[in-house]
Amino acid sequence: MRVLVWATTFGADLWSLTRYLDQLPGVTLRVVMDDPDTFLRQGVAKLFPLKAEIVKRRWYHHLPSRKWDLTIMDNRLPFFRTSRRALILWHGFGWKGPNDEKELWLLHHTLKRTWGDIRKPARNVVWQAFGPWDFKHRTEVSAVHPSNCLQLGAASHDDLIEPMDRSLAQPYYPFDVVNRKTVLIAPTWHYGEVFAHWGQDADLFGRLLERIDSHGANAIIRLHDSYRFDAAYRGFLDRLTARFPNVCLKFKDSSPDNYLDLQVSDVLVTNFSSIANLFYATGRPTVHVYPVRSADEAFIWRELRWSGVREKHLDKARYIWKLPPEEHGGLLARNFDDLMDQIDKALVDPDCCRVIARDFLDRHMLGADGHNRERIWEAMQRLAGDKQHVSRGIEVGPVLQEA
């Protein structure tokens, strides 16, 4: 099977699935991305090298092609039909939304003129759902026809359920990740400053890092692309992290891989970025920062457009949640004191969230059972009609049939 991987973000599920396909006989892979050189400098690329061809996206890659049997995409599509069939492997099962038909109008429009209108039964395109709740949301809210939506789980869970030998990752960190605990701070950027609803980041961020340091732990601050933040805030972060020798700052555009960060971290702190759903598979504690003072208050929501970052004033925060923040797999901090207490708890009791994380995964993400990539591969073969490569011994069962 000839597979084209059309990557907006080459990490998480897209990377894990590519790594799996890369090891299968009879599969030819090409990964198209905006900045392959930066990815290839990442620790994950050096520790787990791919045989697949990795190329920089050019205008001609958008042109129609019959060379490829299947294109796998995350959240952005090529301009034209680059293969016979297509699989949408959405980047992240998170809380933010609403991801309704209106919000996804460009995606629906592009699909309609390439692989087919996914709002109707279509034989050339399939949308991957993470589990039963996501299937319900995609078919009822995002307007994906049920026959085009398959519950396949998160490919990256298959990697994350297996702990990594942290000594392998040590060369890629400026502090000891083997003998010291590490806290990963990975907020979404849509809400602006991480702690603006509780005070000033200039004060609270420093207090958070001091508390982590008091436990003898490291901190990784992983943020979205640097261009999403203004120069003053980036300068503040540089000055802040320079005060702590056990803290490193990463932006997605210069450090795109988060797999090693997830594997070496003992605690995750996030204001409901979809990275939490990945970290649950490790069984380690996640501290969720409730991102607003109240779900019924007006606030500013940030969106990235072609023209730059756009600020949108909303009457209520509930509008932008497709899954309530109260539905999570860890600890929930509604104020800064809660956050400090929960950091203490998570670093002292590494099993404090194991049961609730497992419950979330069981209800929403097919239990992270280690067979998600097999399910996706089976779906790919059915979609491509490639009977020569149909897997043997893979129990797909009602998950594939349900849609």
pLDDT at position 297 is 63
Query: Per the structure block, which two tokens stand in for 144?
Result: 């994906």
Give the pLDDT score at 78.
97
The answer for 382, left when phi > 0, alpha when psi is -120 to 50, beta otherwise, is: alpha
Query: Which residue matches tokens 């409730």?
Result: 290
Domains defined for the chain, CATH in brackets: 2-158+370-402 (3.40.50.2000), 164-364 (3.40.50.12580)
Query: According to the model, what pLDDT value does residue 230 have?
Result: 86
For residue 333, the cross-strand partners are 289
Please list the rounded mean pLDDT of every run of 10 residues in the chain (403 residues). Answer: 96 97 98 97 97 98 97 96 97 89 95 97 97 97 97 98 98 98 89 83 95 98 88 93 96 94 98 95 97 66 58 61 92 97 98 98 98 98 70 37 36
Q: Please tell me the predicted confidence (pLDDT) of residue 315.
A: 59
Q: Are 251 and 268 in contact (CB under 8 A)?
A: no
Closest CA to 21 of 55, 46, 50: 50
Q: What is the pLDDT of residue 302?
A: 54
- Prior bond of 98 cis (ω within 30°): yes
CA distances from 377 to 118, 142, 391 (A): 20, 24, 8
Distance CA 374, CA 394 (A): 7
Q: Which helix (H) or strand (E) holds 209?
A: helix 201-214
User: CA triplet 342, 288, 335: central angle to 5 degrees?
Assistant: 65
Contact 247, 221 (CB under 8 A): yes
Residues sharing a CB contact under 8 Å with residue 110, sequence separation 6 or more, in sequence order = 77, 79
> CA 268, CA 247: separation in Å to the nearest integer?
14
Place of tokens 């008091």: 214
